[in-house]
Amino acid sequence: MVGAACALALARRGFSVALLEAREPQAWHAGEPEDLRVIALAPSSARLLDGLGVWRGIEAARVSPYAHMRVWDAASGAELAFDATRQGRAQLGWIVENKLVAWTLWNALEAAGVRRVCPAQVESFTQREDRVVLDLAGGEPLSAALLVIADGAGSRLREQAGIAAHGRDYHQRAVVAHVATERAHEATAWQRFTQEGPIALLPLADGRSSIVWSLPEARAREVLALDDAAFCEAAGVASDFRLGRVTTTTPRASFPLRLQVAERFAAGRCVLLGDAAHAVHPLAGQGANIGLRDVAELAGVLGEARDAGRDFTASHILQRYARCRRSAGALDARAFDAVERMFAWQAPGWTALRGLGVRAVDALGPLKRALAAHAAG
């Protein structure tokens, strides 16, 4: 998603771009039920996608706008409430299938002049004085003035660029499923922080909710092994039956969670973006949004340099992007990590203090507005 958005953004700024992708994205069809992988897209992401000419198509296809967010602490009962109207917006964001965004971007690439090279597995690359030469599995080498690395959290190309990444394994998995509930979701993103981890119920366009339930690995395995009825019961208990009982569920999937931020976002003729640069806990629903902010910044910095007749691959130009996005990405990653730690710690005195803190943030209008504005990008 992030690499394709970047290719499109750079092509729209007049750059000559090739996108190398190992696997063709899965086709999205309107008649099919909603895919299990969904993300909360922030207004900044919708704005970027709109500028790339793809948002209207995505919005018309299937999105679920949400206007409210309720986040509460199981231990203290303290709750944070966000409402779009208080931010002067019609919605806080949209729940969208990853597959729909990726497929729409993929289909817009060729018309924008991007050369799609797929399937193309980049095996390695060499940085030369004036270019980067890429070796593809079973294909001819390709070369380019700049290599944008967006190969995801397990990025092998980042390692080859000599860039280390730091962070920690959460030893958690996010269990995802689409569920029907007794009560309507009310266009609200619900998230309850429990002793085991946060469980989110995100509103889907068809009236169901998408569960994202972060659990310690062993507990996640237990939950994944439950039959449908037992899973519905467990999800209802974990969400405190806020939407009533969970009545039906799809099969479940799960994803390992880790925190990871690259030491640098540029090296020689390479820049990093998306999960290759930063992987964050899904509790704030921000991973792809941060990646799309990288795209906006990179396209802006490279475009400005080229428009001014400068060498857009010059180190000081790439460093301008790298410094700006690394500090923003690292700050977000640490902030989400701090929230994860804050809610994971269950000492009795601490839970009472945390409850006071959550209530104070909820009551402090300017602080809450600043948090919402940051999440909106």
Per CB under 6 A, residues contacting ligand FAD are: 1-3, 20-23, 39-40, 98, 120-122, 150-152, 156, 174, 176, 212, 255, 274-275, 282, 285-289, 291
Q: Rounded to whole angstroms, how far apart are CA atoms 370 and 377? A: 11
Q: Rounded to whole angstroms, how far apart are CA atoms 42 and 199? A: 20
Query: Which has the closest alpha carbon to 209: 225, 231, 193, 186?
Result: 186
**Toward ligand FAD, which CB reaches closer, 47 or 306?**
47
* Lookup: tokens for 60: 């018309």
**Toward ligand FAD, which CB reaches closer, 74 or 147?**
147
**Toward ligand FAD, which CB reaches closer, 43 or 282?**
282
**Toward ligand FAD, which CB reaches closer, 189 or 232?**
189
Q: Shortest Cβ distance from residue 131 to ligand FAD (Å)?
A: 18
Q: Shortest Cβ distance from residue 31 to ligand FAD (Å)?
A: 24
Q: Shortest Cβ distance from residue 122 to ligand FAD (Å)?
A: 4
Q: Shortest Cβ distance from residue 40 to ligand FAD (Å)?
A: 4
**Toward ligand FAD, which CB reaches closer, 176 or 301?**
176
**Toward ligand FAD, which CB reaches closer, 15 or 103?**
103
Question: Tokens 């002049």 map to which residue?
Answer: 113
**Toward ligand FAD, which CB reaches closer, 269 or 354?**
269
Q: Shortest Cβ distance from residue 48 to ligand FAD (Å)?
A: 12
Query: Which has the closest alpha carbon to 191: 290, 335, 68?
Result: 68
Q: Shortest Cβ distance from residue 50 to ligand FAD (Å)?
A: 16
Query: Which has the closest alpha carbon to 183: 343, 70, 35?
Result: 70
Q: Shortest Cβ distance from residue 365 to ligand FAD (Å)?
A: 25
Q: Shortest Cβ distance from residue 185 to ligand FAD (Å)?
A: 15
**Toward ligand FAD, which CB reaches closer, 75 or 259?**
259
**What's the half-sphere exposure (Cβ side, CA atoms, 13 Å) at 170?**
30
Q: Looking at 182-333, which runs of residues are DSSP E strands?
A: 188-193, 198-203, 209-216, 246-249, 253-262, 266-267, 270-272, 278-279
Distance of CA 267 to the CA centre of its chain: 24
**Toward ligand FAD, which CB reaches closer, 206 or 311?**
206
Q: Shortest Cβ distance from residue 353 to ligand FAD (Å)?
A: 29
Query: Which has the closest alpha carbon to 246: 299, 300, 181?
Result: 181
**What's the half-sphere exposure (Cβ side, CA atoms, 13 Å) at 159?**
8
* Lookup: tokens for 119: 């399937």
Q: Shortest Cβ distance from residue 37 to ligand FAD (Å)?
A: 7
Q: Looking at the chain, which runs of residues are DSSP E strands?
A: 18-20, 38-41, 63-66, 68-73, 79-83, 93-97, 115-117, 122-127, 132-136, 142-144, 147-149, 165-181, 188-193, 198-203, 209-216, 246-249, 253-262, 266-267, 270-272, 278-279
Using DSSP, state whether 284 is helix, strand or coil: helix
Q: Rounded to whole angstroms, how far apart are CA atoms 151 and 275? A: 8
**Toward ligand FAD, which CB reaches closer, 41 or 317?**
41
Query: Which has the closest alpha carbon to 49: 292, 229, 359, 299?
Result: 292
Q: Which residues contact 199 (CB under 8 A, 6 or more apart)?
A: 191, 192, 211, 212, 213, 214, 235, 238, 239
